[in-house]
Structure 1
Amino acid sequence: MGTDELLFAPEEEEQLSEAPWKVLIVDDDREVHSFTRLALHDFTFERKPIHFISAYSAAEATEILKEHDDIAIILLDVVMESETAGLDLVETIRYHLDNTTIRIIIRTGQPGIAPERYVIDHYDINDYKEKTELTTDRLYTTIRSALSQYKQIVELLNKKNEIYATLITDTLTGLGNRVKLNYDLDTEMPMSLVLLNIDAFSMINDVYGFEVGDQMLLQFGKILRESSCTECTIYRLEADIFAILTSQKEIQDIQKEVLRIQSAITKHLFLINGIDHRVNVTMGVVEHEIGNMIQKAEIALREARKMSRNRVQVYSDNLAVIKQIKENTKWTKWLKDALDNNKLIAYYQPIVDCGSGEIVKYEALVRLEHDGVIYTPFHFLSTARYAGLLYQITQRVFEQACARFSTTALDFSVNITDQDLIEHGFIEFIEQTRKHYGIESGRIYFEILEDSSILTNPIAEKHLNELITLGYRLCLDDFGVQCSNFAQLGNLDLDIVKIDGIYIKDIDVNKKSRIVTESILFFTHKIGVKTVAEFVHSAQVYDIVKAMGIDYAQGYFLGEPKPDLI
């Protein structure tokens, strides 16, 4: 074959892909439609041809746009059934049909009615051409440029949708996640929400492994889809917590629906790797409400779990957990106010030597003053633990006690908690405060509870040993009601054991209390540890504890806690 023959050999016909670009021509002049189709009859972009759709009025175009959401370009005349018909259609496309991807090219024969600068400034269009300037070549260039823009916008939009789908979808089950649930709850319509927690699911993971756990979660999600109403939406929020959301109109009796779903789950046999499993679920339900739905359902679920497993709890404002949250919120505020304004006050209760009847030491006890009322730790101690304020309270009480006893020779004791003992600066604070007030370490007793978290925490154990090495005294408080492990008495270098008041307050009438107290005394005498009887509230009780050989006594009969020493 010669060179000329090679140069002019017929080219292979290009294979066009499917799904052509849709271009909508909107013009009341039929010749404009014919010219456009003829000028671009062999046009291709990205191996795709153009499919033309014609509309001869803005109203007709609106109906076409409602049916076709994938039109790439609209070639739009301005003056049709009215002088602003085309511009009005632009507003409809962008703001009523909410279509921001379609490329709008104004093609007008009457630029005086719709001047280019005005239209560009006031309408969301992408190009402006006068019909007289739009030759075949210019039309080709305009369409190609617009299609390139459209393609980029669609790709970006698809990527955005892909990212959004990932954001709102649980990767394991393919269900909506917490983000999706929050989005679906953003409505003024009353909804019903159910949270489902698989009972003892962590045990399945521990015993059979995460792969079996994942398979169970997949099957669980499938059961929820199959057993829930067709209008319900299913979500997996986290770990083994799922959710079902429905509107008020779809289910009139949500509780019956919940029990039906619970029954379906209970009866289902999970077959995984040849092993049969059955599960129960605990459920929190919010019925036909608006606002804070997830929080309310979680509160109901928490209340249900406090009661038992395999339980359904419907949310109401009277749930115990709601009251507890309100109480915690109130006391947290009051505690922080007391810390900021020196309203945490140390009160002192005397401890009497049963042999001499003399006051030999005091216990420093915290009180909170709010609006002129004094509150005992019974009201705020659990909140202080929850809010992480125990160490600050201990610091205030210890410093006040050191200041008070710097002017006397009496010993004193201060309660410390597991949270105090794991603070890295605890020993340094104690030593600095004691030295500042000139108090010998041997005069200070630290009372600890017989709590497993203290006795098993290596940091707490290290700090206890440091206190003992520095010469401080150690007292085990409320012995007999916590772990009640006599072996711990031998493991700790104790100076005193305080027998819990539950055995002392009725020791004059309760034989069992006397027996328990005698057992504690027998053991403490053997290991050389002194004892204190708490809750001594009457002369009869005081006489009994003295007769039994208890070393010290403490209680309202001998002296109430006061801000000053007796």
Structure 2
Amino acid sequence: MSSDEFLFAAEEGDETLHNDPWVILIVDDDREVHSMTKLALHDFSYERKGLLFLSAYSAKEAETIFEQRNDISIVLLDVVMETDTAGLELVKVIRHHFNNPNVRIIIRTGQPGISPERYVIDHYDINDYKEKTELTADRLYTTIRSSLSQYKHIIELENKKNEIYTALITDTLTGLGNRSKLNFDLDSTEPMSLILLNIDSFSMINDVYGFDVGDQMLIQFADILRNASHHKSDIYRLEADIFAILTCFRPDNNVQTYVKNIRNSLSMETYTIQEVEHRLNVTIGIVEHDVGNMIQKAEIALRQARKLSRNRVQYYSDDLDLIQQIRENTKWTKWLKTALDNDRILAYFQPIIDCKTQEIVKYESLVRLERDGTIYSPFHFLATARHAGLLYQITQKMFTQACIKFAHNALSFSVNITDQDLIEPNFIEFIEQTRQLHNIDPNRIYFEILEESSILSNPMAEEHLAKLTEIGYHLCLDDFGVQCSNFAQIGALNLSIIKIDGAYIKDIDTNPQSRTITESILYFTRKIKVKTVAEFVHNAQVYEIVKSLGVDYAQGYFLGEPKPDLIA
């Protein structure tokens, strides 16, 4: 190959013109064309940069130069060389084989009849077409300057685009790739292994020592991963204290050994905080040699590991307990939405008995879900409803059905409400509109709540509870003894009834400890003058003990099962 390089710039003394010159490739089989072009542009400069000329005397030589360089700004290209269309074929090679849309290609032909201008412009991705006879020194100068301006603008836009893209796929704290970068890298059919590492108890470090210290530990942790990882592995920070390693290890490469080495490297490192040395443990989730939904699978493995204990490794498999739980949650979410849309959320009513008179004094409204003729208790779907944000819709259905059921009698009834209900802005408005529609005295209605920290510490929840009692509704504390059981906070709730949790009632006839706890609760409730209900009264022996202890009301399957209709 015969290729010459010539650097031309303006006067001596302006050294900036010798830095990163514009690269011009002349492709022509006529050596005189090369010489004349260099002579005509010998004093050319643009943006304080001179020109570096490369010469190729055939399309094949030009291809070789493009294989070696990616900084060519302009190609001055003849058409007729080895063949009548050699130059035009080179255009295709530059644009498609080398995938270079940026370089400015200027056709210079001495035989326009072979490749007419209009045809070439229409069929080839070129930027200008000149006949050699018309391309004087001045016109060549103008053409080069205009083309360099275009090229500079294109490169600036591409650099800016690359900067934005880099920012989008890079974690600013550690310099590692982020979740977006991992998603991009996983867009491949090649099986890979993905390792997620979650720093154990990292939130405590942030809480105790502050975020600046936490950030420094994350940076150091990222550096350790870089040093410990295989050269064919990529490292990412997905969020807060969760990192990822994507590796091309095949099953025969033993991912277990690789992970063991990483854990050993991490365990040997110490982090000094305020002159105290700390060691970090990690919980790891792995999906091995797989394609498709790898992040989701690795996150499931990580969640399963964290659920069992910290500082452990869990490999993904389709039979993980968490997978079954996710499938169940997905099923019940669909069933719940269908039931809500089709009025298959049903209210069942369980009687509450006065222990002195043995008469029914009120009913508790209990939710059921009907599907294909089968009735499901809330045990199956209530947790899913909470996660899916459907509890308030269920409460609306339940309260409406209860008001309809008790509109034409004088009995009292209770409805369970949740922390999610109490933070709904229109909760009180809905309750009042529904009650008034059915003309029910608020004094007949009891709202059962759990002693949850989310209720006791939420200003809107507290405001709504206070408003309910102000209107005349009663508040009933459900499952007392197994939740927060904070005696000091009960006074703030303005309760009418406390329901003793069934865990202490169901075996009160055989378990002395349950009886002692129940007696303690009763002592407390008498002191604060609040009535009590014993839940889970399931046989005569339990009922007799409950009555003998002085519990005010009793509820359970022995006294009456939940039914869609009231006991006549």
TM over 0.5: same fold? Answer: yes
Q: Deviations 1:63-90 (Å, cap 9, x if unpaired)?
A: 1111011111111111222222211111
Secondary structure of 2:133's counterpart equals: helix
Cα distance 1:74–1:532, how it changes in 2: closer, same or farther (>3 A)? Answer: same
Q: Deviations 1:405-442 (Å, cap 9, x if unpaired)?
A: 11111111111111222222222222222221111111
Which amino acid counterpart does residue 550 of structure 1 have in structure 2?
V
Whether the aligned pair in 2 keeps the contact of 1:475 and 1:495 (CA below 8 Å) is: yes
Give me the whole-angstrom Cα distance separating, in 2, the residues matched to 1:494 and 1:14: 89
Matched residue, 2:151: 150
Does residue 420 of structure 1 match 2:417?
A: no
Structure 1: where are the runs of 5+ without partners?
Answer: 1-10
Q: Deviations 1:533-552 (Å, cap 9, x if unpaired)?
A: 21122223223322332222
Q: Deviations 1:359-412 (Å, cap 9, x if unpaired)?
A: 221111111112222111111111111122111211111111111111111111
Say which is worse superposed, 241-250 or 114-123, in terms of deviation. Answer: 241-250
Does residue 370 of structure 1 match 2:371?
A: yes
Give me the whole-angstrom Cα distance separating, in 2, the residues matched to 1:225 and 1:251: 23
Give me the whole-angstrom Cα distance separating, in 2, the residues matched to 1:37 and 1:454: 83
What pairs up with 1:113-124 in 2 under 5 angstroms?
Answer: 113-124=114-125
Give the count of matched residue pairs. Answer: 556
Give me the whole-angstrom Cα distance separating, in 2, the residues matched to 1:219 and 1:321: 32
Give me the whole-angstrom Cα distance separating, in 2, the residues matched to 1:451 and 1:213: 31
Secondary structure of 2:51's counterpart equals: strand
Whether the aligned pair in 1 keeps the contact of 2:250 and 2:289 (CA below 8 Å) is: no
Cα distance 1:373–1:520, how it changes in 2: closer, same or farther (>3 A)? Answer: same
Matched residue, 2:268: 267
Matched residue, 1:129: 130
Matched residue, 2:438: 437
Matched residue, 1:3: none
**TM norm structure 2:** 0.93
What pairs up with 1:153-552 in 2 under 5 angstroms?
Answer: 153-249=154-250, 252-271=253-272, 274-552=275-553
Which amino acid counterpart does residue 138 of structure 1 have in structure 2?
R
**TM norm structure 1:** 0.93
Matched residue, 1:8: none
Cα distance 1:562–1:212, how it changes in 2: closer, same or farther (>3 A)? Answer: same
Q: Could you say what the CA RMSD is over the residues aligned between the two structures, in angstroms?
A: 2.1
1:250: Cα distance to partner?
A: 9.8
Whether the aligned pair in 2 keeps the contact of 1:216 and 1:272 (CA below 8 Å) is: no
Give me the whole-angstrom Cα distance separating, in 1, the residues matched to 2:89 and 2:274: 64
Give me the whole-angstrom Cα distance separating, in 2, the residues matched to 1:243 and 1:425: 43
Secondary structure of 1:195's counterpart equals: strand
Cα distance 1:47–1:444, how it changes in 2: closer, same or farther (>3 A)? Answer: closer
1:495: Cα distance to partner?
A: 2.2
Cα distance 1:93–1:249, how it changes in 2: closer, same or farther (>3 A)? Answer: farther
1:12: Cα distance to partner?
A: 7.6
Cα distance 1:223–1:251, how it changes in 2: closer, same or farther (>3 A)? Answer: farther
1:95: Cα distance to partner?
A: 1.0
1:345: Cα distance to partner?
A: 0.9
Structure 2: where are the runs of 5+ without partners?
Answer: 1-10
Give me the whole-angstrom Cα distance separating, in 1, the residues matched to 2:252 and 2:282: 21
Whether the aligned pair in 2 keeps the contact of 1:178 and 1:237 (CA below 8 Å) is: yes
Which amino acid counterpart does residue 34 of structure 2 have in structure 1?
H
Whether the aligned pair in 2 keeps the contact of 1:231 and 1:250 (CA below 8 Å) is: no
Which amino acid counterpart does residue 247 of structure 1 have in structure 2?
C
1:143: Cα distance to partner?
A: 2.0
Say which is worse superposed, 276-285 or 220-229, in terms of deviation. Answer: 276-285
Matched residue, 1:558: 559
Secondary structure of 2:150's counterpart equals: helix
Identical-residue share of aligned pairs (%): 70
Which amino acid counterpart does residue 529 of structure 2 have in structure 1?
G
1:355: Cα distance to partner?
A: 2.2
Give me the whole-angstrom Cα distance separating, in 1, the residues matched to 2:145 and 2:488: 88
